[in-house]
């Protein structure tokens, strides 16, 4: 090779290297510039927010507080302050009033309009933080209510008239639209820049308007408010609601479910035109703002990236004590098997449910953060119960002795210990074992096959043809004691339990066939009453109203929840009386009697109140559970990394 050629090659290489170097340098510079721009953006938005808070104290309405007059000053306030203070002293002392808590949200929410959407995650993970209800139940006592958006509630007229005095100076959060620069939202921006929007009694009245409007798809709320006769706004911060009947349901409907709805957004269409009154209901179902949340609570909605995450941040201008944690983040993913991975990689700090087998496996592995004590496991008692329902209208199970025999044949204690692995509490009735309504004197029917066989014999079931299966003559026809038991096909646990039950029943001459079904098919069969027995799981409230599940009228209406066709005159009386009784002691007494009837009649074989397991990293401190759902309520928690 000649000298000249070598020189050319070398200079080519040098030139290329230089060029590449410049290019990389250029890229690096651009990256730096972008980073500084991002920083500036961050600072500007912080500045803007601080500016917003600086005039909180000078708000004109706050000063009027002392001059407030009540219509009935002689009446006691229905609300009592909650003795539990969620701001953790330890966190304040350590100066840990910051940090992010990352949790899971199972599937993308269909929308954030809490009147239309009936979604447990939405209710328990977002609504409770963002939208301030009129009142909220006490942390440790679900039967008492603490003031939130309402400072005072006067109840008169035998619980038929409720007068609300709302807190003054509660602002609506500034909505976080994805793109504020979009010209079509200019009207909203101008409106918000011009004046702050406060939560008023009109917003609460608007909530009732929407819930009760026949055009609005608010099925899950409507039946709570069916008996509202009329409501009237007296002034900006005072309103009155009249009920046509005395009804215990009205307590929760008028406290924790009673939330304000921003009129200044929902009465306008996307371009800022006011929607006529008659059209608001129709427009509400598909309103442009349904994919956004605007509230007035302790946390403010920041963003929702479909399929990625939902973010909330602390509302610094909140009227009450500010929670310890600054940001709440929910990762959206559907695969529940990912929970373990995300927890171990610290992408997630707290998981509300985890498959028990994973915890067991991890504890066996000495290198796992579970066995090292870095990830903690806590049991959450769920207010609910699992059961086996018997079709009371079916000739096999119309006799209560037969149903009791079925309960005797289910080995509840051993199943709970070995199959459910102890994650549950045995129940004997339709209430939560820890609640006041639950009659603790009732002993569960023991597992006793001889007693079961005796009861069946007493009812005329005998094995005359010696084929191992009992039979009886009903309406002139010989019937074998054979039935199908419906379980839903994704529950391995119920399938196992059904197998054990099947074997035990076979010993006393009862043939049970297990049918594992898809949930929609399962539901349809229950609605059509085309079943003999099924497995079920009810989530209830601490203070349950048995009407929907147990009143005899609910057995006869199509799609009613009394699917087992339970009809008992005394039980109906108790249910109706309890609906009109507001005093805790009296209610408990009534429910204890109701519980006894249930124990005697056994329309369900009550099984157990399940326990979930939550896991969290040990740097999440002060993890305490609320008694009523949502059990995981992160206001007192703090992060100490």
Task: Please give, one letter per residue, the 3-state secondary structure of 567-599.
Answer: CCHHHHHHHHHHHHCCCHHHHHHHHHHHHHHHH
For position 334 contacting other proteins by CB under 8 A, the verdict is: yes
Minimum Å gap between C-beta 501 and other proteins is 17
Judged by CB under 8 A, which stretch of 9-17, 101-109, 401-409, 437-445 contacts other proteins? 101-109
Q: Interacting stretch for other proteins, rule CB under 8 A, among 361-369, 476-484, 503-511, 566-574?
A: 361-369
Please name the residues in contact with 175: beta carbons below 8 A apart, sequence gap of 6 or more: 188, 265, 289, 292, 294
Render 534-561 in DSSP notation, one character per residue.
EEEEEE--TT--THHHH-THHHHSTT-S
> Please, which residue, 6 or 365, has the CB nearer to other proteins?
365
* Beta-bridge partners for 462: 471
Q: Which of 394, 389, 401, 512 is nearest to 452 (CA)?
A: 401
Does the footprint of other proteins cover residue 107 (CB under 8 A)?
yes
Q: What is 228-244 written as a DSSP string?
A: EEEEEEEETTEEEEEES
Asked if 331 interacts with other proteins (CB under 8 A), we say yes
Among 65, 226, 465, 492, binds other proteins (CB under 8 A): 226
Distance CA 264, CA 271 (A): 13
Task: Give the pair of three-digit tokens for residue 323.
Answer: 């929670």
Residues 263, 342, 403, 412: which binds other proteins (CB under 8 A)?
Answer: 342
What is the x/- site pattern for other proteins, positions 268-307, by CB under 8 A? -x---x-xx-xx-xx--xx---xx-----------x-xxx
Q: How far is the CB of 257 from other proteins (least distance, A)?
A: 10
Which CB, 198 or 550, lies closer to other proteins? 550
State residue 130 phi and psi, 5-degree precision.
-90, -40
Instruction: Report the distance separating Cα 279 and Cα 596, nearest Å.
Output: 51
Per CB under 8 A, which of residues 144..183 are in contact with other proteins?
none
520 binds other proteins per the rule CB under 8 A:
yes
Residue of the chain from 12, 72, 94, 110 that contacts other proteins (CB under 8 A): 110
For other proteins, the closer CB: 249 or 317? 249
- Tell me which of 74, 89, 367, 583 binds other proteins, using CB under 8 A: 367
Find the shortest distance in angstroms from Cβ 537 to other proteins: 5
Residue 339 or 470 with smaller CB distance to other proteins:
339
Q: Candidates 88-96, 149-157, 336-344, 471-479 — which segment interacts with other proteins by CB under 8 A?
A: 336-344
- Binding of other proteins at residue 431 (CB under 8 A)? no
Q: Please, what sign has the CA dihedral across residues 414, 418, 419, 422?
A: positive
Minimum CB distance to other proteins, residue 161 (Å): 23
For residue 398, the tally of other CB atoms under 10 A from its CB is: 15
**For residues 78 and 370, which CB has a smaller minimum distance to other proteins in the complex?**
370
Nearer to other proteins among residue 218 and residue 634 (C-beta): 218
Q: Is the dihedral of CA 211, 216, 219, 223 positive or negative?
A: positive
Which candidate, 595, 210, 618, 607, places its Cα nearest to that of 435? 595
161-166 and 228-235 strand pairing: unpaired
- Report in angstroms how near the CB of residue 340 gets to other proteins at its nearest: 7
359: which 2 tokens? 């915890």
Interaction between residue 561 and other proteins (CB under 8 A)? yes
Q: Minimum distance between the CB of residue 538 and other proteins, rounded to whole angstroms?
A: 5
User: For other proteins, which is the closer residue by CB, 59 or 118?
Assistant: 118
Looking at the Cβ atoms of 389 and 636, the one nearer to other proteins is 389
The span from the CA of 590 to the CA of 599, in Å, is: 14
Minimum distance from residue 136 beta carbon to other proteins (Å): 17
SS3 annotation, 524-535: HHHHCCCCCEEE
Contact criterion met (CB below 8 Å) for 459 and 401: yes
Helices (H), 55-138: 89-94, 120-121, 128-130
In 106-246, which ranges are continuous DSSP H helix? 120-121, 128-130, 186-194, 201-212, 219-222
Residue 622: left (phi > 0), alpha (psi -120 to 50), or beta? left
Q: To the nearest whole angstrom, how small is the minimum distance from the Cβ of residue 546 to other proteins?
A: 9
CB of 304 to other proteins, least distance (A): 11
What is the footprint of other proteins within residues 384-403 (CB under 8 A)?
384
Can residue 336 be called a binding residue for other proteins (CB under 8 A)? no
Nearer to other proteins, 161 or 491 (CB): 491
Footprint (CB under 8 A) of other proteins, residues 31-90: 31, 34-35, 38, 42
Question: Under the criterion CB under 8 A, does residue 421 sit at the interface with other proteins?
Answer: no
The pattern of x and - marking residues 452 through 491 that bind other proteins according to CB under 8 A reads ------------------------------------x-xx
Contacts with other proteins, 251-270, as mask; x by CB under 8 A: ------------------x-
Verify binding: residue 414, other proteins, rule CB under 8 A: no
Contact call for residue 345 and other proteins (CB under 8 A) = yes
Number of chain residues interacting with other proteins (CB under 8 A): 90
Quote the CA–CA distance of 301 and 297 in Å, as a whole number. 10
Among 85, 244, 363, 365, binds other proteins (CB under 8 A): 365
Taking the least distance from each CB to other proteins, the nearer of 107 and 467 is 107
- CA 146, CA 635: separation in Å to the nearest integer? 15
- The residue among 13 and 341 lying less far from other proteins, judged by its C-beta, is 341
Query: Measured from the CB atom, is 305 or 379 closer to other proteins?
Result: 305
Under the criterion CB under 8 A, does residue 366 sit at the interface with other proteins?
no
Show the site string, 529-548: x = touches other proteins by CB under 8 A, - = not.
xx----xxxxxxx--xx--x
Contact call for residues 552 and 567 (beta carbons, < 8 A): yes
The helix/strand/coil state of 403 is helix
Q: Does the footprint of other proteins cover residue 612 (CB under 8 A)? A: no
181-220 footprint of other proteins as x/- string (CB under 8 A): ---------------------------------xxxxxxx
Going from the C-alpha of 514 to that of each of 39, 418, 471, 486, 518, the distances in angstroms are 62, 20, 20, 6, 13
Nearest Cα neighbor of 135 from 112, 156, 162, 115 is 162
Under the binding rule (CB under 8 A), the answer on residue 335 touching other proteins is yes
Q: How far is the CB of 31 from other proteins (least distance, A)?
A: 5
Among 163, 340, 410, 453, binds other proteins (CB under 8 A): 340
Strand (E) or helix (H) holding 639? strand 638-639
Beta strands in 265-383 (DSSP E): 299-305, 309-314, 327-332, 350-351, 375-381
């Amino acid at each position: 090779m000649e000298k000249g050629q070598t020189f050319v090659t070398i200079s080519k290489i040098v030139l290329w290297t230089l060029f590449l170097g410049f290019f990389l340098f250029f890229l690096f510079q651009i990256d730096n510039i972008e980073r500084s721009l991002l920083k500036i953006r961050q600072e500007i938005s912080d500045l803007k927010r601080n500016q917003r808070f600086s005039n909180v104290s000078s708000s004109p309405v706050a000063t009027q507080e002392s001059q407030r007059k009540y219509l009935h000053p002689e009446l006691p306030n229905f609300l009592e302050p909650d003795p539990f203070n969620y701001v953790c002293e330890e966190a304040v002392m350590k100066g840990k009033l910051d940090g992010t808590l990352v949790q899971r949200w199972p599937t993308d929410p269909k929308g954030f309009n809490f009147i239309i959407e009936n979604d447990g995650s939405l209710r328990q993970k977002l609504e409770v933080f963002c939208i301030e209800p009129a009142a909220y139940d006490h942390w440790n006592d679900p039967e008492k209510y603490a003031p939130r958006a309402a400072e005072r509630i006067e109840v008169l007229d035998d619980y038929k008239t409720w007068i609300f005095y709302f807190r003054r100076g509660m602002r609506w959060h500034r909505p976080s639209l994805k793109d504020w620069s979009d010209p079509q939202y200019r009207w909203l921006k101008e409106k918000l820049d011009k004046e702050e929007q406060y939560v008023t009694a009109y917003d609460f009245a608007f909530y009732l308007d929407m819930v009760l409007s026949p055009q609005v798809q608010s099925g899950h709320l409507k039946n709570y408010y069916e008996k509202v006769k009329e409501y009237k706004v007296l002034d900006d911060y005072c309103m009155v609601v009249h009920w046509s009947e005395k009804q215990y349901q009205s307590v929760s409907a008028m406290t924790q479910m009673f939330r304000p709805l921003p009129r200044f957004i929902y009465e306008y269409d996307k371009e800022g035109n006011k929607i006529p009154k008659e059209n608001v209901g129709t427009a509400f179902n598909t309103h442009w703002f349904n994919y956004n949340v605007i509230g007035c609570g302790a946390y403010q909605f920041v963003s929702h990236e479909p399929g990625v995450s939902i973010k909330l941040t602390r509302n610094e201008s909140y009227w009450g004590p500010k929670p310890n944690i600054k940001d709440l983040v929910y990762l959206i993913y559907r695969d529940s098997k990912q929970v373990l991975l995300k927890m171990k990689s610290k992408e997630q700090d707290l998981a509300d449910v985890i498959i028990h087998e994973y915890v067991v496996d991890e504890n066996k592995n000495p290198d796992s953060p579970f066995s090292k004590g870095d990830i903690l496991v806590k049991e959450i008692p769920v207010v609910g119960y699992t059961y086996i329902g018997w079709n009371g209208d079916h000739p096999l199970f119309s006799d209560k002795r037969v149903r009791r025999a079925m309960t005797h044949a289910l080995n509840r204690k051993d199943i709970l210990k070995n199959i459910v692995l102890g994650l549950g509490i045995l129940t004997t009735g339709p209430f939560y074992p820890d609640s006041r309504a639950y009659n603790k004197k009732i002993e569960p029917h023991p597992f006793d096959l001889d007693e079961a066989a005796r009861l069946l014999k007493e009812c005329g079931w005998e094995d005359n043809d010696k084929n191992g299966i009992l039979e009886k003559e009903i309406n002139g026809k010989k019937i074998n004691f054979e039935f199908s038991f419906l379980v839903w096909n994704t529950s391995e646990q119920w399938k196992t339990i059904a197998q054990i039950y099947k074997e035990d029943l076979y010993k006393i001459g009862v043939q049970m066939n297990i049918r594992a079904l898809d949930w929609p098919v399962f539901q349809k069969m229950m609605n059509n009453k085309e079943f003999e027995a099924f497995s079920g799981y009810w989530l209830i409230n601490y203070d349950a109203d048995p009407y929907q599940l147990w009143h005899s009228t609910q057995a006869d209406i199509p799609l009613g929840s009394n699917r087992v066709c339970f009809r008992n005159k005394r039980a109906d009386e108790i249910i109706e009386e309890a609906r009109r009784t507001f005093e805790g002691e009296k209610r408990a007494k009534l429910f204890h009697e109701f519980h006894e009837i249930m124990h005697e009649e056994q329309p369900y074989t009550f099984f157990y109140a399940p326990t979930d397991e939550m896991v969290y990293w040990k740097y999440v401190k002060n993890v305490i559970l609320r008694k009523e759902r949502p059990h995981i309520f992160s206001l007192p928690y703090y992060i100490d990394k």
